[in-house]
Amino acid sequence: MSEEAGSASAGMTADGTPPGCADVPGAGMSADAAPPGGAPEGAGPQQRTTDITAGPGGVMTDEVGVVTGELTLCTEYADGQVTLHVQYKDADEWYVVTGGKVPLADPAGLDAVHAIAVALLDRPEG
């Protein structure tokens, strides 16, 4: 996944979505423990999604700068790293949250990381 601003893919796959955060069933609540396709927990990428409302100042992204309003947050674990992505609710394009990549040795910590990210970014009342 490229993070280079201004590149043709802007960190996305050819269809405008990062691997793993596309076609998230039930966006707006925590997704299943396994990504679409039914991989068992601990095997391959895992993700959680929640609909959020960005607070004052929005959420800074690597690709397009600040995004505001109603968003979907996707916390994805793959290859020992967690990456936070946001999209405008029901949009196709996903953006990497600036500073939203961190190593995570144990995928069992994904729920905690996602809960913290939601607590920090979901600010419907400012």
For 23-60, what is each residue's pLDDT tens digit? Answer: 444 444 333 333 333 334 445 689 999 999 998 899 99
Q: What is the mean pLDDT of the chain?
A: 77
Whether the model clears a pTM of 0.75, i.e. scores above it, the answer is no
Query: Cα separation of 84 and 119, whole Å?
Result: 13
- What is the pLDDT, as a whole number, of residue 43? 53
- What is the pLDDT, as a whole number, of residue 11? 41
- What is the pLDDT, as a whole number, of residue 18? 52
Which region among 18-32, 82-96, 111-125 has the lowest average model confidence (pLDDT)?
18-32
* Residue-wise burial string across 13-48, b where 16 or more C-beta atoms lie within 10 A, e elsewhere: eeeebbebbbebeebeeebeebbeeeeeeeeebbbb
- What is the pLDDT, as a whole number, of residue 44? 67
Of 62, 82, 80, 66, the residue nearest 21 (C-alpha): 82
